Amino acid sequence: MEKLSTVCVTGATGYIGDESKVQLLKKLEGADERLRLFEADLYDSKKFELAINGCDFVFLVATPLLHNPNSQASFFLALFLQERISTAFRIENWKLEEQRMNFLRRNKLEDYKDTTEASLAAMHIIMGACERSKSVKRVIYTASVMSASPRKEDDFSFKNLMDESCWTPLHCPFAHAQKFEQDYISSKTSTEKEILAYNTKGEKRRIKVVSLVCALVGGNGILEYIPGSISVIISPLSGQRLRYKQLKLLQEMLGSVPLVHIDDVCEAHIFCIEKDIISERFMCVSQWPMMQEIIDYYELKFPISQFKAEASLQFSSFADGEAEHRLCNWSNRLYRFMAYSQALAEEKLHCSAHIRDESKVQLLKKLEGADERLRLFEADLYDSKKFELAINGCDFVFLVATPLLHNPNSQASFFLALFLQERISTAFRIENWKLEEQRMNFLRRNKLEDYKDTTEASLAAMHIIMGACERSKSVKRVIYTASVMSASPRKEDDFSLKNLMDESCWTPLHCPFAHAQKFEQDYISSKTLTEKEILAYNTKGEKRRIKVVSLVCALVGGNGILEYMPGSISVIISPLSGQRLQYKQLKLLQEMLGSVPLVHIDDVCEAHIFCIEKDIISERFMCVSQWPMMQEIVDYYEFKFPKAQVLKEVEGNKSGTPCNSIKLLDLGFKYKYNMEQILDGSVEYARRVGGLTDISALF
């Protein structure tokens, strides 16, 4: 180019990001003279004006990946714009609804009902700022290959070729798409179509729009954390099930896994401002292997790696000199389950258990006595018949399994992914009445329950397992693994914090937690209501043979034996790792509970075993050994790792809400680990499995 051009880059939170991550950019040659940083909000047009004014080109990368409930416009929408909230809740909390509407009117805020609407609004806001700037010539929109599925509109079969003419049919029921992916696909597809319409509208536009439809972005980068696209690409090696499902989704949607290197993506964007190209849509894809080719390559390249295939399992053990006991441990939480099983083997209890992934269970099979005492069973939370065989003959059941996300791949919900969302447009429902008919026929034909959300699925799964326990005639006690997120000390009326968190506390589900996304809201609701319901087994009129004990577990940390990093560890180390999503979840715990309750994985396992060894009454027990403030955790990391870039913005003040876990202690239980040991163990775990590779030199 003859002269230097000015380019405004919006967003890019995948490979570039917030102020804390942008320090790398500041170190680039010439950054002091040519790099300017602006704070902006996708929902606020005024904040874009200053950044865009005077620019020749705009890279429109920013998109609401999840509709942000912390933005002003949607702070109060988190509880109100979900179809999954009960009608009774809406009626009981009409004052909150009135408060929400007054808030929106007072601040003149838009009311975006979902990610697609927010994305479209954000795009129009940025395009409006570009029009008003009088300087912007061209906008390069970073689109996603997920908006270019070669599936046909009518029968969803594949076209012969994927190219720029392909648009994803939004009514196609992709089996591997969760709610998050469905929202993302819808928002990216609808927004790309709308922004390209700027080139074809009647009035003559001064600004031209080019859309770059980018494949799954890989290759080495300069960030200090792992971007989501990299997590998807390496998922066959890492064993991250959620990311592996997203890899499957790409194959299912696109007939291959389109790839492109991050350097090529950057060069393509620059190419589009250097060349006087016409305004149109371009595929930015360099490779399109099948998913099987990726797996085959990894197997060839890393022959000693254990690849994560799909499977399920179960475990057993004897007590020396005592009557034989069998324990059934239903758990897809492998972090806890591995530790449970190791502890059970040491106690010589006979145990049977369920895990979903055969490849990950090799560690269990190596435990002493596993050949004689470990039994594996395949089961489905939505299918009672598959539980019977595992539970029959057991004395105790550890009920750890829960639908973390309502699984759209289960039989009962395969066709529900598109139909049980309030955020789907009315027009879509009308146009696709045949799919609705197909869904209902499928459910009737297979006699399947129709679970509308995670809470309903969790309650149904609990009743299925408890029914199997009742019918077994052998089960004496069920130990339910509850979550501290169901025990918020927030008051029901004004949401202020009580002086103490203990077993009497229940989370008020109508409280608008600022740091809770849709996923966390669903999880809080499902765990709270399911725990209340299972404890009701102890108080129902008819005499029950089975007793239920609920262990309300804090955020679980400490070193473990798995080969990947569990979610709870990711949250605990987030001030060090810089993972923003997990850091928000740490903030959520502080916001909800007035502290960040912690417990070591070994103490959790010992507490479960304690509850089957002691003839305790059927009750609820807090399983919390430490309850530091979020600030204390951040301060500890800063002291322990002075060279690390620790995230410092915290929730809450210096005085927190203590947790009273004395009920379990009064029965004779003892915790072995303090806060420092939990945090140190978590960091060591993350470092060992590669979750903190960039601070390895600090150890």
User: Catalytic positions, please?
Assistant: 527
> How far is the C-alpha of 439 from the C-alpha of 427, rounded, in Å?
18
DSSP state of 208: E
DSSP state of 41: B
Tokens of 597: 């309750």
Q: Where are the beta strands (DSSP E) in 456-537?
A: 477-483
> Alpha carbon of 675 to those of 98, 252, 483, 629, 652: distances in Å?
42, 45, 19, 11, 19
- 102: Cα separation from own chain's centroid: 32
120-123-125-131 Cα dihedral, nearest 10 degrees: -130
Give residues with Cβ within 8 angstroms of 377, minimum separation 6: 312, 313, 314, 352, 353, 354, 386, 389, 390
Listing DSSP states for 106-145 in one string gives HHT-----SHHHHHHHHHHHHHHHHHHHS---EEEEEEEG
Kindly report the length of the chain: 699
Helix locations, 255-396, DSSP H = 262-274, 291-301, 334-347, 362-365, 370-373, 385-391
Give residues with Cβ within 8 angstroms of 418, minimum separation 6: 171, 173, 182, 424, 432, 435
Name 626's bridge partners: 598
**Is the Cβ–Cβ distance between 260 and 285 less than 8 Å?**
yes
